[in-house]
Amino acid sequence: MLIGGNLKRMTALAATPSFPPVRYFDGAILFWEEIGRELWDVGIDLQILKQRGILGRIAGMLIGKLT
């Protein structure tokens, strides 16, 4: 499975019913992109996904161009 989108939007939805169940990330490829944010903001968002248990379940990560 391929799951992803804009990183800031994903983490904003992570604690809501609109976010996919964590089990959907088992073996999935997580893709994301980000525009106009500092690297430390990106690090915080990735930490949120880690704390939600997502990064430990994925098979890989595809990162789009960071501008």
Residue 6: strand pairing partners: 33
The total of structural domains in the chain comes to 1
Give residue-wise pLDDT tens across range 16-65: 999 999 999 999 999 999 999 999 999 999 999 999 999 999 999 999 98
- pTM for the whole structure: 0.88
- CATH number for 56: 3.50.30.60
DSSP string, 20-61: PPGGGGTTPEEEEEE-S--HHHHHHHHHHHHHTT-TTT-SEE
